[in-house]
Chains A and B, each alone.
Chain A
């Protein structure tokens, strides 16, 4: 398996709902990432997990809560979101997440989130 998969593909939620996004990879990668992408804009990094530990939180609001249960799985728990949080949420993985190693990031197809 050489792909990053994400579920669901689409998600519509109200501002009071709690939902989760799921990302999975079976490439033996030990670094996993969450990005947010607005239309016609580049991805913006949200979180990085390296060896199942959170290594970067780009000052993301607490209504987004990441979780890395194991080396293959990454979740993003959503609670009390705002309409401006509507976006494409991308997951990526890379071998080690280290600079200087040509550690290529491979992206999933994304979950398109709409907050009503």
Chain B
């Protein structure tokens, strides 16, 4: 079965410190993976897609098929990065269904 695991409920770092939000997935085919972010009182919004290999707001994520991971990284955290982050896997088949991890709250302290 497809599954997404985010092992940390809460990650607390100081401003300027590096950040790594972990995401592991369980899927036998070629995964489609996403990171979504939900800032306080704002809508859920796409941060990254693995296929784009882009960097948004200084965040990057690399798909590691060997370790079945898609960790989100940023070299220097900012206070405005404080939010809930969800890793998501698109389920196979032509349904568009997203399977979300449980989410990690990132708290960046001044």
Contact = CB atoms under 8 A, between A and B. Distances in A.
A89 to B, nearest CB: 12
A98 B97 contact: no
Interface string B65-101: 0000000000000000000101000111111111011
Contacts of A96: 96
A70 interface: no
A33 B103 contact: no
Contact of B96 (A40, A43, A103, A110): A103
A107 B103 contact: no
B97 to A, nearest CB: 6
Contacts of A31: 96
A43 B49 CA distance: 18
B100 A42 contact: yes
Interface in A54-105: 55-56, 90, 94, 96-100, 102-105
B102 A41 contact: yes
B57 interface: no
A25 to B, nearest CB: 13
B97 A56 contact: yes
A99 B90 contact: yes
A90 B97 CA distance: 14
- Which among A33, A48, A94, A105 has the highest number of chain B CB atoms within 10 Å? A105
Interface of B: 32, 34, 36, 42-46, 49, 51-52, 84, 86, 90-98, 100-103, 105
3 A-B pairs with the lowest CB-CB distances in the bound complex, closest first: A97-B96, A42-B100, A107-B44
13 contacts: A33-B96, A41-B103, A43-B86, A43-B98, A43-B100, A48-B97, A56-B95, A56-B97, A90-B43, A99-B90, A105-B46, A105-B96, A107-B44
